[in-house]
Chains A and B, each alone.
Chain A
Amino acid sequence: MVLVDYEEGKNLLDKYRIKSIDSKYINNINELLKFSDSLNNADIALKVISQNPEALHKSKQGLVKLDLRTEHELEKAYNELIKRAEQFKPYKILAQKMVKGIEIIIGGKTDLQFGKVILIGLGGIYVEILKDFQLRICPVNNKDADEMIENLKSKQIILNNINKNKIADLLVNTSKLFFENNIVELDLNPVIIHDNNLDAVDIRIIK
């Protein structure tokens, strides 16, 4: 089991027309400030990316810094993170634009008997508490995707914020990506719905 590098994952998503949030690996504070400029000083999140299994739960390990805007905030957060990340070497620091919205999870797993299945659920912190999700065998077509959305208890929360066909397209494309590539597990968690649009924020692809 190998975790695919974030940028490689992002490129794969691009190939399947799955949008992901603006992000960049940064090696020093200057690169971070430049990235911030390029986003017109929008809020930024910093994340430590490491293959170390202990680093998988980033927020529990304090490997995430959120809502960073000013030069001072960015610099302080960056310095704290690299100190904290020392124990998870080798690591990289990923800077991401932050967006706020409804969080959903799109995922894939390989069932021992039936092969690849795809998942959609209300995401972020709710997914494991509410367990409101739908699964289907890959690849899924538009009708399957439609049914998955319709069967979610939280469908109205989602559909109040985005057109259904955009979510259906995301499901069909992710299922295609998962089905056609040599991938064992996949988490896009969260995918954030904002401004009638979707952005994958965390990409975890396991080969």
Chain B
Amino acid sequence: MKTEKDKIKYYNLEPMIHPKSVAIIGASYDPNKVGHIVLRNYIHGGFSGKLYPVNVNAKDDLLGLKVYKSILDIKQEIDLVVIATPAATVPSLINECGKANAKGVVVISSGFAEVGNTDLQKQLIENAKKYNLAVIGPNCLGVMDLRSRTDTMYLPSFKLDKPIMGNVGFISQSGAIGSVVLDLIDHEGFGLSSFISYGNADVVDESDILNYLANDNGTKLIIFYLEGVKDGQRFLYTIKKYGLKKPIIIIKAGATSQGATAAHSHTAALAGNTEVYESIFKQYGLIEAEDLYDLLYFAKIFETEPLCTGNRVGVVTNGGGAGVLVTDALYKNGLELAQLSINTKQNLRKVMPSIVNITTPLDIGGDADRERFKNAIDSVANDENVDMIAVIVLFQTPGADSAVVSEIINVKNNITKPLIVISIGGTYTLAHRTMLESSGIPVYDSPMAAARSLKALIDFSKTSIKK
């Protein structure tokens, strides 16, 4: 009997994600065509490998590069082929890529099974399998890697904020959601290793991509927008293997209740598709986000903060009301306020003015300045009764400025517990938020989002330590 392991094989995506040479089929002379934009993005994006534009009507050079009539004319090693031609032409182009020994293909073109052209899709799959060719797509944005500077996206680069290089891997089944999240990432203070939008998943599927990113040393955690998996057994095998090795934050779209229709038992009536997905995520340690923004909020805490199984949060605030809101949010998410030790209380009593009540949340007053923040955060962070620290800084107050920011960063550099900042406000606040985040401190503008993120960190920590 074959074991599970024998059955599961993954495509090697490394050459596609870090290509040394890229051919673009459908590289048009028309600057508004997808193939042209892709080529232009490669040139302007600083890709240092070889570029081969391919166009059946090849004549003059294009953007300073020689244009080939067919991929077979290139006669050089090709790591990645990007296909941006009408759907009907794609299956035979896949054959040519196979003959040219290309290592992988991204098919941007749409017009396959997603619009009912299943025959065309079948041909594409058949041809890819014939040459054992890794094909991402069709109907996708493809691959963007911030390290190799490969970028098959056809979105005009001025229309979305490009993330900086970092260590979050991002997988999206949908191109549209993919581009929305990419646009937002830069504002959440973390960077990306790779982004892979895989569309119809006809050849390369979600498991191949998870396998790649899970083994990629430059990727510390994965965020994943999923509509539905292509192959359930492969997916289970893959997340069983990697779910606890790296944090995988997942949002599953498409809640259906297929279970309810043909049920012969109570169990089948209860356990619909949505419930089964949720359970799988729980069972194998995936972190489920229920909202697109949570995908980003969770990512930033996992990117910078250490794992932590304790749920006692030490809260320091320069605003009483915000302290109450945060406390509510913590308890609603199963976290609790840390009770300070006698030692900490005595220390704080010595250094805090008499208006400060030495309890949690520790409200250090609207006139708190750099010194008071420093003393408060330092004592709370080093208290043995505190598992994680949430500092609320309302920058609207007179004493809260960039000096406070640098004190927070100082404390953070000397502790091994998770520390987050909650800061709510406009332009002045946003400027300080950027300072904090570029120093590796996650900042939240919503108490609930902050509490959900802390909880996600604890949940994952508990599962990964237990199993």
Residues of A participating in the B interface, judged by any CB pair closer than 8 Å: 1, 56, 105, 107-109, 111-115, 117, 119, 121, 127-128, 131, 133-137, 143-144, 147, 151, 185-187, 189, 204, 206
Instruction: Note all chain A residues with C-beta closer than 8 A to B8.
Output: none
Determine the chain B residues whose CB is within 8 A of the CB of A105 once the complex forms: 266-267
Cα distance, A109 to B265, chains bound together (Å): 8
A143 B267 Cβ-Cβ under 8 A = no
Main secondary structure of the interface of B (DSSP, over half): helix
Please determine whether A137 and B267 come into contact, CB atoms closer than 8 angstroms.
Answer: no
**A111 in complex: contacting residue of B232, B269, B278, CB < 8 Å:** B232
- Complex CA gap A172/B466 in Å reads 18
> Which of these, A108, A113, A131, contacts B267 with CB under 8 Å?
A108
| Chain B contacts for A133, CB-based, 8 A | 270-271, 275
Which chain A residues border B282 with CB–CB below 8 Å?
136, 147, 151
Against A, the Cβ 8 Å flags (1 = close, 0 = not) of B272-285 are 01011011101100
- Give min CB distance, B239 to chain A, whole Å: 10
From the candidates A117, A151, A206, name the one contacting B271 in the complex (CB within 8 A). A117
Residues of B in contact, count (CB < 8 Å)? 25
A204 to B267, CA, bound (A): 10
Which 10 residue pairs spanning A and B have beta carbons closest together?
Answer: A107-B267, A113-B232, A135-B279, A114-B232, A109-B268, A187-B265, A185-B265, A109-B267, A119-B267, A136-B283
Asked if residues B267 and A186 are in contact (CB atoms below 8 Å), the reply is yes
Minimal beta-carbon separation of A191 from chain B (angstroms): 12
Residues in chain A near residue B235, CB distance under 8 A: 114
Closest B residue by C-beta to A111? B276
Q: Are A185's CB and B267's CB within 8 A?
A: yes
The contact sample of 7 A-B pairs, CB cut-off 8 A, is: A114-B236, A119-B271, A134-B279, A135-B275, A137-B236, A147-B282, A185-B267
Interchain CB contact (< 8 A) of B265 among A136, A137, A147, A204: A204
**B-side contacts of A1, CB under 8 Å:** 264
Contact present for A206 and B264 (CB under 8 Å): yes
With A109-B259, A111-B232 in contact, is A127–B270 under 8 Å at CB? Answer: yes
> Is there an interface contact between A185 and B268, defined as CB atoms closer than 8 Å?
yes
Report the separation of the CA atoms of residues A189 and B266 in the bound assembly, to the nearest whole angstrom: 8
Known: A117-B276, A133-B271. 17 other contacts (CB 8 A): A107-B271, A109-B265, A111-B232, A112-B258, A114-B232, A114-B235, A114-B236, A115-B236, A117-B279, A119-B271, A127-B270, A128-B269, A135-B271, A135-B278, A185-B265, A204-B265, A206-B265
The chain A residue sitting closest to B228, CB to CB, is A113
Which single residue of chain A is at the shortest CB-CB distance from B229? Answer: A113
A107/B266 in contact, CB under 8 A: yes
Main secondary structure of the interface of A (DSSP, over half): strand
Residues of B within 8 A of A204 (CB): 265
Q: Is B467 an interface position by the 8 A CB rule?
A: yes
A-side contacts of B275, CB under 8 Å: 133, 135
Most buried by A among B229, B278, B280, B466: B280
What separation, in Å, do the CA atoms of A122 and B259 have in the docked complex? 19
Q: How far is the CA of A147 from the CA of B467 in the complex (A)?
A: 11
B279 and A143 form a contact (CB under 8 A) = no
Residue B233 CB within 8 A of the other chain: yes
Q: Which residue of A lies closest to B284 (CB)?
A: A137
Interface-central residue, A107, A115, A135, A185, by most chain B CB under 10 Å: A135
Q: In the complex, A117 Cα to B273 Cα: how many Å?
A: 11
Q: Which residues of A contact B467 (CB under 8 A)?
A: 143
Chain A contacts for B232, CB-based, 8 A:
111-115
Residues of A within 8 A of B229 (CB): 113
- A134 CA to B281 CA in the complex, in Å? 12
A26 to chain B, nearest CB (A): 26
Pick from B266, B267, B275, B283 the residue with the most CB of A within 10 Å. Answer: B267
Q: Please, how many angstroms separate the alpha-carbon atoms of A121 and B467 in the complex?
A: 24
Interface string of B233-247 (1 = CB under 8 A from A): 101100000000000
Q: A79 to nearest B CB, angstroms?
A: 30
- Selected from A56, A114, A147, the residue in CB contact (under 8 A) with B276 is A114
| Chain A: minimal CB distance from B213 (Å) | 22
Determine the distance from Cα of A108 to Cα of B271 in the docked complex, in whole angstroms: 9
8 Å CB contact of A128 from B270, B273, B466:
B270
Which residue, A108, A113, A151, has most C-beta atoms of chain B within 10 A? A113
Q: How far apart sit A116 and B128, CA to CA, in the bound complex (Å)?
A: 32
**Measured between C-beta atoms, what is the minimum distance from B461 to chain A in Å?**
15
When distances are taken between beta carbons in the complex, the residues of chain B under 8 Å from A185 are 264-265, 267-268
CA distance A114 to B235 in the complex (A): 9
A204 to B258, CA, bound (A): 21
Interface residues of B in 5-39 (CB under 8 A from A): none
Residue of B nearest to A144 (CB): B283
Nearest neighbor of A114 in chain B, beta-carbon distance: B232
In the complex, what residues of B have CB within 8 A of residue A135's CB? Answer: 271, 275-276, 278-279
Query: Which residue of B has the minimal Cβ distance to A113?
Result: B232
Q: How far is the CB of A95 from chain B (nearest CB, A)?
A: 23
Nearest chain-A residue to B230 (Cβ)?
Answer: A113
* Complex Cα gap A151–B281 (Å): 14
B266 touches A137 (CB 8 A): no
> Using a CB-CB cutoff of 8 Å, which residues 270-315 of chain B contact chain A?
270-271, 273, 275-276, 278-280, 282-283
A179 to B275, CA, bound (A): 19
Give the residues in chain A near B466, CB-CB below 8 Å: 143
Across-interface contacts of A137 in B (CB, < 8 A): 236, 279-280, 283
A38 CB, min distance to chain B CBs, angstroms? 31
Q: Provide the bound-state CA to CA distance between A114 and B236, in Å.
A: 7
Expressed in whole angstroms, the minimum distance between the Cβ of A127 and any Cβ of chain B is 6
Question: Is there an interface contact between B271 and A127, defined as CB atoms closer than 8 Å?
Answer: no
Q: Which residues of A contact B236 (CB under 8 A)?
A: 114-115, 137
B276 & A127 in contact (Cβ 8 Å cutoff): no
Contacts A1-B264, A114-B236, A128-B266 known; A109 to B271 CB distance under 8 Å?
Answer: yes
* B265:A186 contact, CB within 8 angstroms: yes
- CB-CB contacts of B187-225 with A at 8 A, as 1s and 0s? 000000000000000000000000000000000000000
A187–B280 CA distance with the chains assembled, in angstroms: 20
